[in-house]
Amino acid sequence: MMMRTRSLRIDAWPAHVLRLALALSLLLLAACGGGYSSPSGSMAGMNQGMPVIMTQPADQASSVGGMATFTVAATVQNTGYGTGGLSYQWYQVAPSQTAGAKISAATMSSYTTAPVMSTDTGSKFYVTVTNAYGMATSRSALLTVM
């Protein structure tokens, strides 16, 4: 007696079905927070609670002896975390320097310079905004002294 075997043929899934399945999987992963573990150890969405700069500091112009004020507006990534606990630190990059120097007393959302001199033209100012979840760095705003 001869035995017959049968084989089941499974055709490959069409590429568009696989792409759709992958896209849905990625959306589901993102909606569930992406599996990111926050500093507190709880599961949270990626970047949730981190500072976000909403309004960047603008370039400023001042005359010799005048002052310039740089301002930033920041919030957090997910409104469920509130806006409390944000810390600010301003830095100045002198025209001849490549790295920023911390301005020790500049820890608010705005910074007003001391009276400027002509040698201050070309200085750049930026701020870091931090909280327990991370840090955001602003753009560098240019100071022009006229």
Do residues 76 and 82 touch, judged by C-beta distance below 8 A? Answer: yes
Question: Three-class SS of residue 126?
Answer: strand
Q: What is the pLDDT of residue 138?
A: 97
Q: What is the pLDDT of residue 38?
A: 37
Alpha-carbon distance 103 to 128, whole Å?
A: 12
Q: What is the CA radius of gyration of the chain?
A: 26
| HSE-up (13 A, CA, CB side) for residue 102 | 6
Q: What is the pLDDT of residue 98?
A: 86
Q: What is the pLDDT of residue 20?
A: 59
CATH pick for 51-145 out of 2.70.98.10, 2.60.120.620, 3.40.50.720, 2.60.40.10: 2.60.40.10
pLDDT in tens, the chain (146 residues): 566 655 545 455 565 554 655 555 555 445 544 433 334 444 344 566 889 999 999 999 999 999 999 999 999 877 665 656 899 999 999 998 888 999 999 999 999 999 999 999 999 999 999 998 899 999 999 999 99
pTM reported for the whole predicted model: 0.66
Q: What is the pLDDT of residue 13?
A: 52
Q: What is the pLDDT of residue 17?
A: 55
